[in-house]
Amino acid sequence: MSTSTFHHHFRALTAMTPLQFQKRIRLHEARRLILTDHLDASTAAFQVGYESPSQFNREYSRLFGAPLLVAIRVYPKGKGNVCCS
């Protein structure tokens, strides 16, 4: 299968590009690490492959609609189900 055919079929099934899908998975995993494993944002960002904490913060806010600090306030350590809206 060619790359362009793969992209076409992938987008038809997921409504996003493979890169968008990968970013979404990485951001959800970072959110889980921060809110359930209590890692700091920079460490979680690096663990999921971000080299820049500022880029991570921008993409996090774009995906979840609010800065990471909002999620940390809403889900204090050990409180409630945090996974992956």
For 26-36, write each residue's pLDDT tens digit. 999 999 999 89
CA 47 – CA 25 distance, rounded (Å):
13
Q: Which domains does the chain have, with CATH numbers?
A: 17-85 (1.10.10)
Q: What is the pTM of this model?
A: 0.80
Confidence of residue 73 (pLDDT cuts 50, 70, 90): confident
Per-residue model confidence as pLDDT tens digits over 46-56: 999 999 999 99
CA 50 – CA 31 distance, rounded (Å):
13
